[in-house]
Structures are given as C-alpha cells and as structure tokens.
Structure 1
C-alpha cells in the first residue's frame, strides 16, 4: 500500500504511466471524494491513514502565479484523463510531474478538483523517495502482504 503501483500502472495527475506515486488527501472528505472520483456509486475499498515524512515537497496549493511558475504550470489542473484518452495527447500535468522528480522534490501538494477546500499530496515513490511512509495500522487489522 505504500508503493503507488496503482497510479504507476494507470497514471495520475502528477505522474505518467510507469512512474509510481502515492496519492493522499489531507482530510477525510477529500479522501472519499478523490477515491469515488466522478462516479455516482462508491466502489468497494479500504481507506487508510499514513504516517509519512517526505521533503522537499513542491507546494502548488496557491495555484499558478505568473513569474513564480513556468507557463506549463497553468495547466497543472487540466483534465488529464481527457487529454490522454480522448485527445491522445500527453497531459501537461505529466510533464510537470517529470519536472518535480528531476528537480529532486519528492512530491507535490495541490488543491483537489473534487472538494472546494481539499488538498492532496502526491509522493513519487520511485527509489524510496519518501523519507518515511507507513500505513497507520495500530491493531494489525489490515491483511499482511508477504
């Protein structure tokens, strides 16, 4: 649960296919909305909390600001699925994800498109980029993977 392989298989806002990323929301409501996405029905799943330390992290929670970010960052909140699946164009947010990795940052903090005040964190997990990541599981309720 700490490898980000699902996002690596399918891609995500801040990672292209082949680049693992662990996506987290900073609050429960955002976590549920992000998991549900645009579906009217909630798919089965398990929500977990993480104990995570990773630095540096790119903070994009204030959004695009000319002079602070390159013009490409204007499209960070693009509908990356539409670009990829409908237009067959590489989403600009994937290039931004590449820039984050090449800069040495371990991830990006950004506003959720699904909840008005929600914030997400995507940590690129290639080569153990997080300083520390553990699933919070105090009673060992989650199944163990051997």
Structure 2
C-alpha cells in the first residue's frame, strides 16, 4: 500500500446538490446510503481533482445533468492511501484488485457487503484520512474520499467560499 500526504492546500472539486449546499464538508449524504468506499452510517466526503471529473461523478451517467453547485476545496491531509494509478500487485495486496467492484449492485440488489467496503474499513481502522482512486466515470480523472471521522486538527478540508455565496442553512427550501 502506498501512503502519501495530500497538499498542503491542494485544490479538489465537488458538485453539491443545491438543497445540501449549506453543508459542503459534510459526509452525511454518503453516510445515508453508503458509497463506493463507505458503508451506510459512515461519513465520507467524495471530491475530485478536476471540475470535469466532479461533474461526471455528480451526473452518474444520467443523460441530463441535475442542478448542482460546483465548489472548490482546499485540502491538506496526512496519511492518504494512494490508489490513483490503479491496482498494482507490486504495491497493493490482492484484495485491492476488487476496488472497482459494482458496489451498488452488490449492496442493494444482492444485499451483500461489497469488497470496497471491506477495503475502506481496513483503511479507516488503520487511521487513514482518505483514499485517492481513479474515477470510473471520467477516464484519467482522480477522486479522493475523505474519512471525516479520522481527521485530526492538522488535517484540513475547507470549501473555498471567500464571498460567502453558499447558503448557511436550508431556510430557502420550503418544508412540505
């Protein structure tokens, strides 16, 4: 396994669902249903190195892009597993060959635990702050999943919003 430091102050991107743009650093959305590298109940923030990768990850293959707000993040993290070059048996244990499994199908249809959840469990238990991995939506793109519970005071994931344009709460959304 390859462990690196991200940053200081490396820029990543994410498209935010407008209703949840008031909490741009939260991993609660991913905790609801789970994600490629987090089980339901485990907060994780998914970011992309490039805006185009963030867009394609947000779109998730839909023919029309849903409304979204692009946000940039300034990131400094220690102890990040770096799978960005993909699986290499010289660097990663054989279990990591399944990192790109069809996790939704496994979790939601087969009702089994995807291999990628076991892999992220091991990273979280080892204290890793995150994982860099290739985008499966944008060829050549790189994503970063941040394990919020493992962040320390030395780590930083801050949305870049110098003019305070992001909403502060959900008051603009009517309750129905």
TM-score (norm 2): 0.78
Is 1:109 aligned to 2:132, yes or no? yes
Residues 83-123 of structure 1: per-residue CA shift (max 9 Å, x gap): 11121111100111101111111010000001111000000
Contact kept in structure 1, 2:47 and 2:54, CA below 8 Å: yes
User: Whole-Å Cα distance in 2 between the matches of residues 129 and 111 of structure 1?
Assistant: 25
Gap runs ≥5 in structure 1: none
Q: Number of residues paired by the alignment? A: 146
* CA-CA distance at 1:67 after TM superposition: 4.3
Which structure's CA Rg is the greater one?
2
- Whole-Å separation in 2 of the counterparts to 1:127 and 1:41: 35
Contact 2:127–2:150 (CA<8 Å) still a contact in 1? no
CA distance in 1, matches of 2:150, 2:127: 12
**1:132 is matched with which residue?**
156
Tell me the CA shift for residue 127 of structure 1.
5.3
SS at match of 2:69: coil
Give 3-state SS (helix, strand or coil) of 2:78's partner: coil
| C-alpha RMSD of matched pairs (Å) | 1.6
TM-score (norm 1): 0.93
Asked if 1:142 corresponds to 2:147, the answer is no
Question: 2:95 maps to what in 1?
Answer: 72
Native 8 Å contact 2:129 2:151 kept in 1 = no
Counterpart CA distance in 2 for 1:45 and 1:129 is 29
More strand as a share of residues:
2
Give the Cα–Cα distance (whole angstroms) in 2 for the partners of residues 129 and 45 of structure 1: 29
Residue 23, structure 1, aligned to residue 29, structure 2: no
Are 2:30 and 2:45, in contact at CA under 8 Å, matched by a contact in 1?
A: yes
Superposed displacement of residue 70, structure 1: 2.1
